Structure 1
Amino acid sequence: MHQKNFVICDQEADYARNLMQMIGGRKELGFQMHMFQKLEPLKKFAEQKPIQILLIGEEYSQEERLEIPAAERFVLVKAEGRYLADEEKELYKYQSVDQILTKVLELSVDKERAVAKTLRKTRGSLIGVYSPIHRIGKTKYALELGKELAEKGPVLYLNLEEYAGGEHYFSKEQEQNLGDLLYYSKQETGNLGLRISMMTGQIGNMDYIRPIPVVQDLQAVTAEEWMQLFEQIVEKSIYEVLILDLGDSVNGLFSILEKCDSVHTLSIEEPAAKAKLQQYTENLLRTGHEKILEHTVQKVVRSRNGGTVI
């Protein structure tokens, strides 16, 4: 079978590499995968080989994007509703590989394969941020990601760590916290969206709800209660993106990560950190949660002047 050239061009190298590997692993689709970050090498490639499917980041200008010939052109966006050219199709960046493939196949010329590969879509996007390696700036990363996405659409940030940092990150002006929201969620009164709007604080354009302050209270929440809460937020609130900053003490951690559309996993270039990440990966495989790896985006961080650099 003649392989189709599937090209990903994005300035986030880790994201593009992960997406390329996941799609490339679907051998039955018959794609020949290629990845670029700069446009000049991509232009030279396009002069030599036809591009059937192009996924290109919105960071490149529309004029630059249209210079790349492709049968099907998708623009990776961080929020929906972008102004695109007629020959461009919008593709939300931070969703699972399955969801990305579904939309690509549905909107591409290969319609008959799209039907066979149709997968479930969710209304909102659930992004998990987790690392088995501690003290590497995970919460700072999650907050920065949320603020960036909130420039494009409504985002809610929830911290599910045992020690979230309290007033260092979150204002004390909001009296209610995530524990109160869980209580309202279990009442099933139908006005959870209104409750959330009355409880949130803001960091930039991003909304957040104060974390549960007592570790034992956090550990008492069941996996089922977390799942019910996330589902209700997606269904009954205005938020396009729900970011979960996850710690090791949350019940049902692997189940939550599995439910996420994408999981951002941070690591550092140190032997001990690499060993922890390897053990975490092995645990996922041994416990039957290998699906998490399919929508994991690994981020390598480094320290600079006391801060965290992605």
Structure 2
Amino acid sequence: MRKIMAVYDEDPVYAQRLADYVNQKEKLPFTAMAFSSMERLQEYLKEHPAEIILAGERPAAELEALGIKNVMILSEAEVVREKEAGSSIYKYQSGSGIMREVMAAYCCSQPEPALSLLVKKAVVMGVYSPVSRCGKSAFALTLAQVLGRNFSVLYMNMEEYSGFSRLVDDAFERDLSDVLCLYRQGEFNWMKLKTMVYPWNEIAYIAPARYGEDLELISPEEMGDLTGRIARESGYERVVIDLGRCGRGAISLLDACDVIYMPVREDWVSQAKLEEFEEYLALADDGRVREKMQKIRLPRVRLAGRHENYGDQLLWGEMGDFVRRLLGGGQPGEWRNDG
């Protein structure tokens, strides 16, 4: 059952735009309703209890009189007084930024989700290769972007040194390290995950681990289980994972994927690495992982200029054309919209 998130602000355009963003962009079990009149909000709440109220700055007594537990203030001051910090959110930031703060505050008031995301399990699409410098990361990022034109997509990068923050030119308050920490502590749930997801172009992403060592704190078996939970609980239709070094126990992580793309190269050293990996699969895999794997030979990526438009160059260049042809071929679990 979807609960109500009431958005109140005296600026009707602001209130409506924020409500529209929540309803159209966010995968949350809330229906956002916009109000620019306190009287209309009070009348509405008499018959429709709200789970959360986002309210422009009003006298505290007036907001307390609404009788709603989760009231968060949309503050016009970027820096709020310490005593208000727990319930104040800077209103002139991106919609995704506002919702990350809303969900973080909601988590504090409610340790376990009282609401469920009634969604299908996402298709998990892994990109892995035992071969170096094969275009794996460029392919994974392009795959996510192309899928993002038709589906809601969550992108994850599990490499030790991904360089992703340089590509998106952003700094992150939370990243995969925080997700892993929650999982190890037994506190992971979809609600807390939403506080760690960022938007980029047409996709959402979890920022890569800030320290490569953090990836060693969780076993491949645990990472496989976490991947399954994200697929089931996150609300996204596709999860694209750029897999780094899997190490021992790689089968558990690879088996968590529904589709595995494996870029390969034709030089002798690359072929030797591929043969060793296939020997490992022959011993460790019961056949399920090999059935999911698809070897691909990627086009060479030719980029012009600086990294600012790296994503667009991938999407509309040779790599983007390659991915669109690949998905257009109707490979299992890829391009068909099964929702």
TM-score, with length taken from structure 1: 0.55
Instruction: Quote the residue 2:257 is aligned against.
Output: 260
Q: 1:165 to 1:173 in 2, by over 3 A?
A: closer
Q: 1:250 to 1:203 in 2, by over 3 A?
A: farther
Percent of pairs identical after alignment? 28
2:267 to 270, 273, 276: 270
Contact conserved, 1:219 with 1:250, CA < 8 A, in 2? Answer: no
Instruction: Quote the residue 1:285 is aligned against.
Output: 282
Contact conserved, 1:185 with 1:232, CA < 8 A, in 2? Answer: no
Q: How far is the alpha carbon of 1:125 from its aligned partner?
A: 1.0
1:139 to 137, 140, 146: 137
Q: 1:240 to 1:177 in 2, by over 3 A?
A: same
Segments ≥4 residues shifted beyond 6 Å: none
Take 2:247 and 2:130, find their aligned partners in 1: how far apart are those partners? 13
Q: How many residues get paired? A: 188
Instruction: Quote the residue 1:228 is aligned against.
Output: 225
Residue 231 of structure 2 is aligned to residue 245 of structure 1: no
Contact conserved, 1:147 with 1:203, CA < 8 A, in 2? Answer: no
Instruction: Quote the residue 1:95 is aligned against.
Output: none
Q: 1:288 to 1:139 in 2, by over 3 A?
A: same
Q: 1:189 to 1:305 in 2, by over 3 A?
A: closer
Q: 1:171 to 1:224 in 2, by over 3 A?
A: farther
Query: Any idea what SS the aligned residue of 2:264 has?
Result: strand
Take 1:250 and 1:215, find their aligned partners in 2: how far apart are those partners? 14
Instruction: Quote the residue 1:177 is aligned against.
Output: 175
Q: How far is the alpha carbon of 1:188 from its aligned partner?
A: 4.6
Take 1:299 and 1:272, find their aligned partners in 2: how far apart are those partners? 17
Which letter does structure 1 place at the counterpart of 2:192?
Answer: R
Larger deviation, residues 248-257 vs 177-186: 248-257
Query: Which structure has more strand as a fraction of its residues?
Result: 1
Contact conserved, 1:221 with 1:251, CA < 8 A, in 2? Answer: no
Take 1:130 and 1:242, find their aligned partners in 2: how far apart are those partners? 14
Instruction: Quote the residue 1:301 is aligned against.
Output: 298
Take 1:212 and 1:250, find their aligned partners in 2: how far apart are those partners? 17
Contact conserved, 1:174 with 1:200, CA < 8 A, in 2? Answer: no
Q: How far is the alpha carbon of 1:270 from its aligned partner?
A: 2.0
Q: How far is the alpha carbon of 1:186 from its aligned partner?
A: 4.1
Q: How far is the alpha carbon of 1:159 from its aligned partner?
A: 0.8
Q: Deviations over 1:258-280 (max 9, x none)?
A: 22111000012322222221221
Take 1:218 and 1:167, find their aligned partners in 2: how far apart are those partners? 17
Larger radius of gyration: 2
Q: 1:156 to 1:126 in 2, by over 3 A?
A: same
Contact conserved, 1:182 with 1:225, CA < 8 A, in 2? Answer: no
1:152 to 150, 153, 160: 150
Contact conserved, 1:258 with 1:289, CA < 8 A, in 2? Answer: no
Q: 1:253 to 1:148 in 2, by over 3 A?
A: same
The runs of 5 or more residues in structure 1 that have no matched partner are 1-121
Question: Where does 1:1-310 land on structure 2 (aligned, <5 Å)?
Answer: 123-189=121-187, 192-249=189-246, 252-303=249-300, 305=302, 309=319, 310=322
Q: How far is the alpha carbon of 1:249 from its aligned partner?
A: 4.9
Take 1:133 and 1:224, find their aligned partners in 2: how far apart are those partners? 22
Contact conserved, 1:128 with 1:244, CA < 8 A, in 2? Answer: yes
Q: Deviations over 1:107-134 (max 9, x none)?
A: xxxxxxxxxxxxxxx8221111001111
Contact conserved, 2:220 with 2:246, CA < 8 A, in 1? Answer: no
Which letter does structure 1 place at the counterpart of 2:166?
Answer: H
Q: 1:198 to 1:171 in 2, by over 3 A?
A: farther
Which letter does structure 1 place at the counterpart of 2:269?
Answer: A
Report the RMSD for the aligned CA atoms in angstroms. Answer: 2.4
Q: Deviations over 1:230-255 (max 9, x none)?
A: 22212222111111111115663221
Which letter does structure 1 place at the counterpart of 2:180?
Answer: L
Take 1:295 and 1:284, find their aligned partners in 2: how far apart are those partners? 12
Contact conserved, 1:154 with 1:206, CA < 8 A, in 2? Answer: yes
Query: Any idea what SS the aligned residue of 2:208 has?
Result: coil
Contact conserved, 1:126 with 1:260, CA < 8 A, in 2? Answer: yes
Take 1:212 and 1:301, find their aligned partners in 2: how far apart are those partners? 26
Contact conserved, 1:130 with 1:245, CA < 8 A, in 2? Answer: yes
Take 1:247 and 1:189, find their aligned partners in 2: how far apart are those partners? 25
Q: How far is the alpha carbon of 1:160 from its aligned partner?
A: 0.8
